[in-house]
Chains A and B, each alone.
Chain A
Amino acid sequence: MLLSRLAWAIGTVWLAASLAFLLIHLAPGGPAIALGGDSGAPGYLEEVARLYGLDRPLPEIYLDWLMRVATGDLGHSYRSGQSVLSLILERLPVTLALVAPAVLLSAIVGTLLGLLRTPRGFAASMAALHAVPGYLVGQALVMAFALGLGVLPVQGLVDGRGPGGGGIARLLDMARHLILPVLALALHNLTFVALLTRTRVMAEMERPYAVTAAAKGVAPRLVRRRHALPNAMLGLVSLFGSRLGGFVTGAVTIEVLFALPGLGRLAVTSAIARDHPVVIGLVLFTTAFVVTANLVVDFAFRRLDPRLEETA
């Protein structure tokens, strides 16, 4: 069971990375233009292609790449010469600091909102909010908070004028800078969780056990929380797990909008610069991350619902 799951996971990562490899190599334009600026001299493009071994046939480049990846070597950036793995690990904390609070926020607040006895129009307004892309939500937040109230910063991870250094002051500064981006990223998913919780709980409330509980005189609030929610949770966890990838892709636009130096920004700058090793390395890394997260959710799900363990 575990082994076949693992084989699937590795296959998925290989497929995604190979697709990324193909796409970036087939995209018109090479790294030379990004490296040399606007107007290269004759022969310059060919020179750069030779330098990075891009003048060889594609299958040869692919096999070369595959051999190296198999040994855990993601290669080096054309632009900076830095190893791809170190580039990714350098940016990972920023993306995690953005994504982790957003995931928690949307899971917890979303569930709570879904459980509330809500006024008419709640579902419709949640659905409307959900339809707004995170990018626009971000713009609106910037307008309201930063320009309207002048309280929160609109870009970056730390204050540009700050003295630098570490300590608690720096952490507080980072937290201040992350409030708006986390909200912008969370809102889209929070509304989704709220809607889903609501419909799931409502469905459970009509099932015989809930009706029985209500008939026995259990308060509706408690029927929701104690009986309907745990059952509804099962579906919620698996659906939420399948959306983790969405947080990662959502982070790309949020990082661009709020000028945060995370993995998403790395992906965008590298794609524009045709920095092939970095782009492919990022796809490999994020696919591995999402696939792993899904595996974990899968197993958590089995623990939550013993019935699945038997049928598997």
Chain B
Amino acid sequence: MTTYLYEKDLVPQKYRILVANRHDALVRKIAAELDIPVQELRRYLIEHLDMILLENLPARYEMADANADQDDPVARVLGREKYTLYLPILPDAAMDAIFHAVNDRVRAGTAMEDAIAYGRVQIREVLRR
């Protein structure tokens, strides 16, 4: 989004949202799923999501848990829809590329766990970019 001359610094307010009990538990859960440090994830969320989306993260996560990636086990483990459609953390194109790369590795004979671990590393790379 564009920066305004008279823009307020929203970082402290966004941080307060993320450290509320429910949000904090969720951020820790996502950090564990993606295997990245909590502080790093918080910083990423503060930089990339607006205040209302941060407020709505727990509700969106619950919907993702119930409905996202029902048909494909690889997509479910990677969180293909969960982290793009439901929680817009990763860009669609990046997640698609990671998903296809993991699927290619599985088809080529790599063990599922190793392919998923590779996918996780790629997701971390995207988040750190």
A and B held together in a complex: no
Q: Which B residues fall within an 8 A CB radius of A?
A: none
Q: Which A residues fall within an 8 A CB radius of B?
A: none
